[in-house]
Structure 1
Amino acid sequence: MSEHSITVVPRQSSYPDNKIKAKEILDWLTSQDIVKPTLSDCILSSDNGYAISDGARQVTNIPDELPFDLITNGLEIITNRQVFHTGENGMEECICPNCKENIASEDWSFFNDWDEQKSNNLTCPLCNVATDIHKFTFSPDWGFSDLGFTFWNWSDLTDEFISEFRQKLGCDISIVYTHI
C-alpha cells in the first residue's frame, strides 16, 4: 500500500517565529479534537506526530475515508526549511514569472541556493533572472517554507478548514498533495 499526505505550507520562505506559530496551530487543532495532544508513532518519519482524532471528521470532505485504522494517520509539524514536494506526483510545470517559460524539465540545481538557505530566490536557468521562489508557478502545487503541517493519509480537507488555516497563519498558503 502506498502513502499520501496533504501539507499546508505558508507561502513564506522564513515564517516569523515559526515554532511559536506551530504551537498555536497545534493548540487550535487539539482544542477542536482534530488531532490528539500527545506525540506518538503515527507519521512517516523518525520523529513522532499527533494522531488523528474524532474532530477530523468535521474538516474533511470524505470523513468515511479517514485513516483511523492505519498506523500512519497523524499530523507532522515541520519547522525547518524544506521543499514540500509532491513525491511520485512530480512536477509538470515550473513557470518563471519573468520569461514565462516552463523550467520543470531543466536541471533542478536552480533550487540549491534556496534549499541551502543562501537565498529566498530561484534563478531561472533560461533567462538568468533571480526572483522570489513564491512568484514561480508550480503545477501541481509545491511548498517552500520553514513551516508546514502534513496530514498523513487523510482524505481531502474542506475549503472551510483550509480557509481557517490560512487565516490563522495570516498569509497565503500552498496545499501540497504528496504520493509516496
Structure 2
Amino acid sequence: MSTQSIIVPKHSTVIAHEARARAILRWLVREKVIEEQLSTCGRTGNRMAYALAEGARKVALHPERLPFGQAVSGLEVVTDRCIFTPLEGFLEEAGCPECRREVGEPLFESLEEWMPGQTDNFTCPLCGFEDDINGFLFLQPCAFSNLGFIFNNWGDAGFTPAFIDAFADWLDQRVAVVQVKLPGA
C-alpha cells in the first residue's frame, strides 16, 4: 500500500510560505535528506519531486523502511491552500478547546469558506470561541494550511521527534504529521 507522511504547519495562512518552503528545501538538501534536483519520483501532477538521499536515514525512526529504490519516494511541496487529512478511516470529529464539546460537523462544513481563503478561523457554535481552524481539537492528526510537505511512501519509516522539532523550528510554527494510506495504490 502507498502512503504519505505529510508535515504541515498548524496555521491556515503561513506568511511568506513560498520563501519558507525554499528555506526548508535548502535545509533538507544541506542535511542530505533529499536530493537538490527534482526528479520523477513524485505521485501527483508531472510526478516531479525531491528524491530521498542517504541523510534521510538519520531522520527516520526506522531507516530500514525508507522507500529507497521505489519509483514513488520523493518529497512534494504544496504551496496552495489545502486540507491535509488521512483518507482512510478519517472520522471528521473535532472539539472546541474552550468548551470541550464536539463541533466536527459544523467545523467541516465551514471548510467551504476556509478553502477559498474567505476566513482562517472557525467559531464554535456552542460557546462562541473563535480561533484559527487548526486551534481546534482533532481525534486524528490533520491540518489546514497553504503549505505542506508530502513525503511519499515514508509512512513505515516514521520521523524522529528531533526531526519534527527541527522542522517546526525552521517553519517557526507548530506542525502536524498527517499519515495517509492511499486506497488502491
Q: Normalising by structure 2, report the TM-score.
A: 0.88
Moved more, 116-125 or 134-143: 116-125
Aligned to 1:52: 52
Unaligned runs of 5+ in 1: none
Q: Is the 8 A contact 1:22 1:147 kept in 2?
A: yes
Q: What amino acid is the match of 1:16?
A: I
Aligned to 2:69: 69
- The structural deviation recorded for 1:125 is 5.3
For 1:17 and 1:105, locate their aligned partners in 2 and report how far apart those are by CA, in whole Å: 31
For 1:149 and 1:166, locate their aligned partners in 2 and report how far apart those are by CA, in whole Å: 12
For 1:40 and 1:163, locate their aligned partners in 2 and report how far apart those are by CA, in whole Å: 27
Unaligned runs of 5+ in 2: none
For 1:14 and 1:22, locate their aligned partners in 2 and report how far apart those are by CA, in whole Å: 13
Q: Is the 8 A contact 1:7 1:148 kept in 2?
A: yes
Instruction: Please state if 1:170 is matched with 2:169.
Output: no
For 1:72 and 1:178, locate their aligned partners in 2 and report how far apart those are by CA, in whole Å: 14
- The structural deviation recorded for 1:127 is 5.5
Fraction of identical pairs, as percent: 32
Q: Normalising by structure 1, report the TM-score.
A: 0.90
Q: Is the 8 A contact 2:12 2:132 kept in 1?
A: no
For 1:38 and 1:44, locate their aligned partners in 2 and report how far apart those are by CA, in whole Å: 16
For 1:115 and 1:142, locate their aligned partners in 2 and report how far apart those are by CA, in whole Å: 15
- The structural deviation recorded for 1:144 is 1.1
Q: What amino acid is the match of 2:174?
A: D
Q: Is the 8 A contact 2:94 2:107 kept in 1?
A: no
Aligned to 2:116: 116
Does the C-alpha gap of structure 1 residues 123 and 152 become closer, same or farther in structure 2, counting only changes over 3 Å?
same
Moved more, 131-140 or 146-155: 131-140
For 2:173 and 2:88, locate their aligned partners in 1 and report how far apart those are by CA, in whole Å: 28
Matches within 5 A, 1:74-153: 74-91=74-91, 93-104=93-104, 108-124=108-124, 130-153=130-153
The Cα RMSD (Å) is 1.9
Q: 3-state DSSP class of the match of 2:110?
A: helix
Number of residue pairs aligned between Structure 1 and Structure 2: 179
Q: Is the 8 A contact 1:72 1:153 kept in 2?
A: yes
Q: Deviations over 1:60-91 (max 9, x none)?
A: 01111110121110101111111111111413
Q: Is the 8 A contact 1:111 1:122 kept in 2?
A: no
Q: 3-state DSSP class of the match of 2:43?
A: coil
